[in-house]
Every structure is written in structure tokens, then in C-alpha cells.
Structure 1
């Protein structure tokens, strides 16, 4: 789709092991992508979010900063995996497919692409990352745990970044201004980072308990992908 796609594929070829490695990959993708590529605006917003997470994990008094760091790395790996799969022509979750397929649609706005990526990543990937990180750590995702408290401690910061993005990214992909359109305002106004993250944790608790039944696990994961795909399609309706 873009001449630099092979370079992006190379950048996301290996799963990172640390948050600094995650940030390095995101910065590489940011440096490669053109303004007219919708991927740039999701990746850029996610880079800002990850920098904030890294700062909080590194400096604040979290109950289990190691878990939060591992979750951040696992979470980012799912984005890189989806992008890698798309560029290789492999099947990927539908919620990611709807975004990557319209990367070059310049009638879209930057905020539409940024939020569509956040939708796919949080409404689909985050629950899976919480489950896999919990399994690796030998702990259970639970609302009564210090890990959940750490998880929600990030909400105010992340909500602030999303609200800033909603103001700064209301431009078409190439930077053209868009008229004051109530349809765009209505589309982005209701998207809440903290609400999406809370839903992801709830889904992780459900998915955790479904693990002994692979068939139900598959159906559940398919269901959350279906919901995220519908939301992504609604976010990505091109503007006039």
C-alpha cells in the first residue's frame, strides 16, 4: 500500500522484551510513515500513551510495577503482530483489518484513525494481554488486587491524552481542515479510554475463567473482535 511497508514489516518483525524496545519500534514506525497514512496517527497516539505508561511504571509507587511493565510489552506485541500479519497478507483480527485496509483513505481524519486503532487495541487486544500476562506471572486478574489498582491508576493520565488528541487531530490525513461536522463530533465524543480499559479488564476476568474450555474461549475472543470491528467501522466512515 505504501512504498515503505517493507521497512515497517522489518521494524515489527521481532517481539520486544522491554518498554524501551517497544518505544523504539513505535518511533521507527512514526519516522517511516507519511502524513497521508492513517497508521501514523494511531501509532503516534499510542507512542504518547506508552511514554506515559513507561513514566508511571518507572517513577510512581505502583503495587506491582513489574506486572504493569510486562503487560505493556505483551499488549504492544499484539499491535505489532497484527501489523506484521497485515503486511504479510495473513489473516488478522477484523478490528485491525478495518483500520489497516483504509490507511490511505485521505477523506478520513487523523482522529478517526487514531481512535479506530485504540478501539482495536483496547477493546480486543487488552483483555488478551491481561490474561497472558497474568498466566505468565502466576496470578489471577481480579478487581480486588493491587494490579487492578495499578491498572486504573493510569486512567486519568490516559484520558487526558485522548482528550488532547481529539482536539489536535481533527484534520484530514493530509492536514486539510474539516468543517464543523456534528457527525464527527458525535463519533469521537463518546469514546472513553477509561471506560474501554475497564471493559477490557472485565473481559479478561471472563476470559480467564473460560480457559479450561477452549471452544468457549474461541467464541468469546471472536465475540469481542466482532464488537470491536463494528465500532471500528463506525469510527472510520469517511467524511464528505
Structure 2
């Protein structure tokens, strides 16, 4: 795999940006909820990189950083009064809604980031390292497995307790309609399709726009207010 030497951004650098963002946000802000979850994922990736658990450290680093940069770019867009990608708009629009629960915010962010950003990050990484998506499949799977394991913990930690039983049933029903594993599989297919379409600019742009819109629709459903 060819590797371009100008890529030097570290996983620790993007993690530091997430920590800085966390320090500026109210605890119950929906973006803050997702940011804490994503920071935990990023720190775990950094730990596993340091432990040598990725066969191709450079590829794993590039993928993780390109992935994180997509989320951070959406945050910056909102801070600058610009429109973020459609997949992120529901989270930013409903981030302070009192009827949306923390678990919904967390999973809506994961939906936007995995369903849309990860596919584009694979393409970004292939361009950075001058490789094919198949060269990144092991790293993609390892990051995906980590996300799945953390999603299970997130659901346990953020599911309402006994004092909120009146919303537990609709929340369980709503969140049961979305699966990270299915989203990850669809993302891999989308990434390969985008790479195959890279020389067909108009078609690739339309495909990306449709992907963005579809993921945004799913995110809006995940953020359905369940209580006032």
C-alpha cells in the first residue's frame, strides 16, 4: 500500500479537540452527550493503537482521524452559522429538546457519524494513502467492532431508570428499530460504491447527497421526543 508522508495528524490530536469541545458544552446538551461517547471511542482506539492491536497502524490512524474530522467539521459549521450535512442537522436542531433522552442523542450521533461520515472517511483515507477500500477492511472491521461493543454499554448506561418507566416502552421500541451492525454493513457498501464512482463526479455527488439525506431522516426518527 502506498503511503503519503504528509499525513501526520494523530488520534490524540482529534481526541484533544473533543475534550476541548466537551469543556464548553452543558452536560445535557445533545451534542455533548454524543461527544462524550465519541471521545471514549477515540481514546479506546488510541489505546489499542499504542498496544499494537491494529496490524496497519498508519492505515488505522488515517481512517480514525479522517472519520473524526468529519464530525468536528460539522461542529465547526454550526459554530460558524453554516449548515452542517443533513445527517447532523436533527441532532443540532434538537440538542436542547427536553423530551429527547440522552440515549437518543447518543445513538442519533452514532447514526449520523457511522451511516454517513464513515463511508466518506473510507474514501478520504483511500485518497490519503493511495489505496483501495479493500486495503482498509481489517481496520474498518476493528473500529466497527469497537463501536458495537461500546453501543451496548451506552444503551445500558443511558437507558431510563425505574423513575422513567412511562417512557421506557416507547423508547425501547424506537431504538430497537435501528441497528449499528446493519448501519455498519450498509456503510461499507456505500464506501465501496463511492470509491467506484469517484471518476463520475456528478453521480458520486448525487449518491453522497442521497446518503446524507437518508441518514438524516433516520436520525430525525431516533430523536422523536418522547416526553415534554
TM-score, normalised to structure 2, is: 0.89
Is 1:158 equivalent to 2:147 in the alignment?
A: yes
Which residue is equivalent to 1:60?
52
Which of residues 68, 75, 92 is equivalent to 1:76?
68
Which of residues 179, 191, 196 is equivalent to 2:178?
191
State how far apart, in whole Å, the 2-side matches of 1:100 and 1:220 are: 23
Give the gaps of 5 or more residues in structure 2: 1-7
CA shift in 2, pair 1:35/1:215, >3 Å: same
Q: Deviations over 1:89-116 (max 9, x none)?
A: 1122111111101111121100101111
Q: Deviations over 1:116-158 (max 9, x none)?
A: 111111101111010011111010102xx4x312321344432
Q: Deviations over 1:34-62 (max 9, x none)?
A: 12311111001111111121122221343
RMSD: 1.9
State how far apart, in whole Å, the 2-side matches of 1:115 and 1:237 are: 12
Relative contact order (C-alpha < 8 Å, sep 6+): which is higher? 2
Is 1:170 equivalent to 2:162 in the alignment?
A: no
What pairs with 1:216-235 in structure 2 (closer than 5 Å)? 216-235=203-222
State how far apart, in whole Å, the 2-side matches of 1:194 and 1:67 are: 22
Which of residues 219, 225, 228 is equivalent to 1:238?
225
Is 1:32 equivalent to 2:24 in the alignment?
A: yes
Task: Judge conservation of contact 1:123–1:200 (CA < 8 Å) in 2.
Answer: yes
Q: Deviations over 1:14-47 (max 9, x none)?
A: xx92111111111122222212311111001111
Is 1:90 equivalent to 2:79 in the alignment?
A: no
TM-score, normalised to structure 1, is: 0.85
Give the gaps of 5 or more residues in structure 1: 1-15
After TM superposition, what 4+ stretches of structure 1 lie above 6 angstroms from structure 2? none
Residue 190 (structure 1) shift? 4.1
State how far apart, in whole Å, the 1-side matches of 2:177 and 2:46 are: 27
3-state SS of paired residue (1:77): helix
What pairs with 1:190-209 in structure 2 (closer than 5 Å)? 190-209=177-196
State how far apart, in whole Å, the 1-side matches of 2:142 and 2:117 are: 20
Task: Judge conservation of contact 2:87–2:112 (CA < 8 Å) in 1.
Answer: yes
